[in-house]
Structure 1
Amino acid sequence: MSATEIQALLRFLSADAKVPLATAMTKVKDLQKANLDSPEKLAKAKVGVIQHIFGEEKLAKYILTAARRVAKKRAAGDIDSGPSPKKKRRDGSLVSEETTTPAEIEESLALPTCADGDDELSRAVLFTNRAPLALAFVLTLLKHSMPEQPLSSRLSLAQGYIGVTSKARALYLGIDSGKSAEEEGFGEGQPSVTITGKEVKVLRRWGYEWRENEEGADQHGQGTQKEGRSLKTETDEADVNADSQENEQPPLWALDLEALKKSNTIGSTPALGQSRQGTSNLPIHTPQSARSYLLKAFDTAPSAEAEGMKKPSAAAKAAEKGRNLGKLLRALDLLYESWAATLTVEELDKRTWGWYVKVRPAVADGAAGWGGKNTLKLADVLALRREP
């Protein structure tokens, strides 16, 4: 099987069948052995054969349905089965679709950067809602509190934190009812990390070697000298022993327990076993969705000068939002860097929520303010920095 064929298979599994890319990469050899290395071949397979490889009947049925759909479209000439080498990100840069190595995956997730100084940043006024701002704060925090984690993991963990806090807030406001997935026992026994006081259940990404070398150039904030936080495990003694032999924790995914509850992908028993083989198909908060959410979230605050002017194209608006995100992340970097030399990881963690509350957009109280948008002044973020 050629590299191009492997890449095409991975694109089908991750994009069409919605299998997490990290999981899909572990199944390629099994699919090759079963002669199921293309959507056309999968479309003709029995669901039991696919289930034997992926270990989940519902997932196997979803893959089979996706394979039949893709195979039918290709037969009708609606889909080009060849590889598409390049596509544009929302920020306008090019990224290869053939991102099969961990290093390439991490590169594809790069976020917009900004070199603006204080004066330019201070003049920036954005228009957004609260959740993506909290996501940006936590993502920046994780660069210091979990420097051993790749960007893909930090995006997933930050989104996992937002998922936990949003669910709790929705229940408190009466927008949602019942209990959270974790309260009902989903994810019981899984390891977890604590981020600004909230416990986020995680899945270890064994074998994900994302650094190209041991020195590992400072990829997306990896060069900080702060010691990362430890992983709290409940009952997985084998994994605890394995972790104790390593200098740092393996990369992590944040589990999406609410999605697990809705799909019930592990059957009727919410508490799952601790074997590594039994967790590969659990739903996670994907870094791609977190990145996409951030790229779409930060508009420019409306102004009198903009009234009556021609509306920008969708591409121009997307590029503008990308630049705004870069400015926000730059301001947050300056904030955390100003305190990193004097505060411990735990102290940075504790201060993050308070910093966010001080600058978050003002919205109506209670359920009326759910999802509401308002202005965000980057000058307010910069004002939180430690004085020299």
Structure 2
Amino acid sequence: MAGANVADILRFLSQDAKVPLATALGKVVDLQKASMTSADQIAKADIKAIQGIFKDEKLAKQVLNAAKRVSKKRGAPTDVATASPLKKKKETKITKDSTPFEIESSLSLPTSSTSDSELYNMTIVTNRAPLVLAFAVCVLKYTMPEQPISSRLSLAQSVVSANSRSKAVSLGIESGKSAEQEGWGEGHSTVKVLGREIRVLKRWDYNPREGKPENASAREESNANAVPIEDLLGHGDVDDADKMPPLWGIDLEANRKSQATAVGSDPKPISALPIYTALSARSYLIRSICKLQEGTPSKSKSAAATIQEKEDYVGHLVRAIDLVCSSWSTTLDSSELDKRAWAWYLRVRPDVQSGAQGWGEKGQVNLADILALQKRP
């Protein structure tokens, strides 16, 4: 197999299929013997043949799905004028009767099958808080893999809010002790996300797999752009007492405010502890990321087109950060990966003013700067 092909297949396995580099290196010769030296050839191969090489059913499916995704992207039309837009994920309407599985599925973040070379040329516009949120959601997939997407979004929003308040205090916009400093979080467990301890509420009665259809995994295999089911629902057994159950991030500031209001008027106790909701965190991320507009826009876009573009670029951003986290996940433990993620954010955050007038302003983030943080062989 030519050297260029070896590099290509290793790049595909380690970056697109997210196979640990050490494992990928050991499978190159076997793939060569099976005439699977490109993503296109793997995509056309039988799952049993791939499983025979990787000796692991889950990993074999992971490689096949990645190959189909890459192959599909390469086969798409390149002419912008004639290319059909990506199909928008069918929205699931959430009601009080929705199952946990339906809720988790509705919270899935946009995905991207864009090639690495295309990602390197992309620039987004956002302010710092949404970028913190994106980094937190992505790194939690590796540092707390048992958590479903609803919990990861909630915990990420907790970090954003705590970080924003600290920034506001440093700028003189807010003053006084935080709810945490006043002891409103006492009695609740803590977890560390991006180096910051946050208070959490354990959801012992919540099973994200409840209501999962029997053919859910089959639908995932047939959809090259589908988010892996376990990435949505969390890895592990929710009934294992030694495992951390799904979590909510507690909104201590809202708790303090609601209790203070109740004391001054209605003495009726507050029944629900305020938490950071996953849906609001997801919506905030979607509306806060946009494409860098070059030149003068020819015409205004429809609201639907604008939302779709935002979702596409959130997908590109999340994929870029995920590639970085994935590249380091096999060599760093959870604690060190969490610390690194905050350092990575500091290196690529938008360059905006640091004073009160510039607080919250938007700036540019080059995805090439994020991708450059990947661990190299």
Return the TM-score normalized by structure 1.
Answer: 0.65
Q: Distance in 1 between matches of 2:204 and 2:324?
A: 33
Of residues 352, 371, 374, the one that matches 2:341 is: 352
Please list the CA deviations of residues 240-294 of structure 1 after superposition, one character each: whole Å capped at 9, or x if unmatched: xxx997131111100001111222279559xxxxxxxx99600000000000001
Q: Distance in 2 between matches of 1:312 and 1:220?
A: 36
Q: Distance in 2 between matches of 1:135 and 1:220?
A: 21
Q: Which residue of 1 aligns with 2:7?
A: none
Q: What is the RMSD of the two structures over their aligned residues, measured on CA atoms?
A: 2.8
Q: Which residue of 2 aligns with 1:77?
A: none
Q: Return the offset for 1:114.
A: 0.5
Please list the CA deviations of residues 148-179 of structure 1 after superposition, one character each: whole Å capped at 9, or x if unmatched: 11110110000011111111111111111122
Q: Which residue of 1 aligns with 2:352?
A: 363
Of residues 277, 282, 294, the one that matches 2:273 is: 282
C-alpha distance 334-143 of structure 1, shift in aligned 2 (>3 A): same
Q: Return the offset for 1:113.
A: 0.4
Q: Which residue of 2 aligns with 1:339?
A: 328
Q: Which residue of 1 aligns with 2:290?
A: 299
Q: Return the offset for 1:302.
A: 2.2
After TM superposition, where is structure 1 displaced by more than 2 Å over at least 4 residues in a row? 91-94, 96-99, 215-225, 265-269
Q: Which residue of 1 aligns with 2:224?
A: none
C-alpha distance 114-173 of structure 1, shift in aligned 2 (>3 A): same
Q: Distance in 1 between matches of 2:197 and 2:239?
A: 21
Q: Which residue of 1 aligns with 2:116?
A: 118
Is 1:219 matched with 2:229?
yes
Q: Distance in 1 between matches of 2:254 and 2:93?
A: 29
Confirm or deny: 8 A CA contact 1:141 1:352 kept in the other structure: yes
Q: Partner of 2:284: helix, strand, or coil?
A: helix
Of residues 244, 248, 256, the one that matches 1:249 is: 244
Please list the CA deviations of residues 293-338 of structure 1 after superposition, one character each: whole Å capped at 9, or x if unmatched: 011111111211xx04101111111110000000001111111111
The one-letter amino acid paired with 2:277 is T
Q: Distance in 2 between matches of 1:381 and 1:113?
A: 17
Q: Return the offset for 1:220.
A: 5.5
Please list the CA deviations of residues 69-127 of structure 1 after superposition, one character each: whole Å capped at 9, or x if unmatched: xxxxxxxxxxxxxxxxxxxxxx6632133462111110111110011111111111111
Confirm or deny: 8 A CA contact 1:338 1:386 kept in the other structure: yes
Q: Partner of 2:197: helix, strand, or coil?
A: strand
Runs (5+) with no aligned partner, structure 1:
1-90, 229-242, 270-277
Runs (5+) with no aligned partner, structure 2:
1-87, 218-227
C-alpha distance 152-244 of structure 1, shift in aligned 2 (>3 A): closer
Counterpart mapping for 1:89-168 below 5 A? 93-98=90-95, 100-168=98-166
Of residues 278, 288, 298, the one that matches 1:309 is: 298
The one-letter amino acid paired with 2:314 is L
Q: Distance in 2 between matches of 1:92 and 1:118?
A: 23
Return the TM-score normalized by structure 2.
Answer: 0.67
Is 1:190 matched with 2:181?
no
Confirm or deny: 8 A CA contact 2:146 2:234 kept in the other structure: no
Confirm or deny: 8 A CA contact 1:335 1:384 kept in the other structure: yes
Q: Distance in 2 between matches of 1:266 and 1:149?
A: 33
The one-letter amino acid paired with 1:361 is P
Confirm or deny: 8 A CA contact 1:191 1:203 kept in the other structure: yes
Confirm or deny: 8 A CA contact 1:363 1:369 kept in the other structure: yes
Q: Return the offset for 1:353.
A: 1.0
Q: Distance in 2 between matches of 1:332 and 1:166?
A: 21
